[in-house]
Amino acid sequence: MATCKECKSFFGREDDPGQGDCVTRQVDPRQSYYRAKPVEAEKDASKCGSFQKK
């Protein structure tokens, strides 16, 4: 099972290794930006459409 921590977008937290940020590049019709969503390192990523193995 793929987990979030194996993904290129996952950046673990130094203060809490079990947690991290899923950081992705977003482009909408007006602007481009980087977005962070908190995720657990061990979260099942098998159904995530954005998963990219590190």
Partner 1 sequence: MAKSQQARDVDELVKNREWWFVAEKTRSSRLDYLRKAVWKKGAIGGNYAPGIKIDLKFPQLFTEKWKEHDGDPIMLQKANALAHVLDNTPIFITDHAQLVGYVGSAPHEIVWHWQGVSMVNEEIYNEQGIIPEPEQESLETLAELNDYWGGRTAVDKLARVLDPEDAVKFMSGAIGWGTPTSAVTYSTKDFDFIFQGFEALLAKVEQCIEDTEEKLQGEPSPELLPLYEKIPNWEAMQIILEAGIRYAKRYARLARTVAEHFESDPKRREELLRVAETCERVPAKPPRSLQESFQFDHFVQVILRYETFEGAWPHRPDYVHGPFYDQDVNVEKRLTKEEAIDLVGEHLIRTYEVGIFAPRWTREGLQGITGTWVWTMGGVKPDGSDACNDLTVAYMQAARLVRVSNPTFGFRWHPKVKDEVMRECFECIRHGLGYPSMRNDPVLVANSVHWHGHPVEEARTWVHQACMSPCPTTKYGCQPFRMASATANCAKMVEYALHNGYDPVVNMQMGPQTGDPREFKDFEEFFQAWVKQMEWLRNILVRTVNLGRVKDPVFFSRPVLSSVYERAIETGTDACDPTNGERGNAWVTGFTWVENADSLAAVKKFIYDEKKYTMAQLMDALNANWDGYEEMRLDFVKNAPKWGNDDDYVDEIMVRCLREVSRHAKEIKCPSNNNWPLLPENVSGNIHYSSVVGALPNGRRLGDALYDGGISPGPGLDRKGPTAVLKSCGKFDHVTDGRAFLLNQRLSPTQLSGEKGYQLWKAYMKTWADLGLDHVQFNMVDDATLRAAQKDPEKYQEVIVRVAGYSAHFVDISRKTQDNIIQRTVQGLG
50 binds partner 1 (CB under 8 A): no
DSSP string, the chain: --BGGGBTTEEEETTEEEEEEEEEEEE-SS-EEEEEEEEETT-B-TT-TT--B-
Give 25 or 47: the residue with its C-beta nearer to partner 1. 25
49 binds partner 1 (CB under 8 A): no
Give 1 or 32: the residue with its C-beta nearer to partner 1. 32
Sign, CA torsion 53/47/50/44: negative
Interacting residue with partner 1 among 38, 46, 47, 53 (CB under 8 A): 38
Judged by CB under 8 A, the number of residues near partner 1 is 17
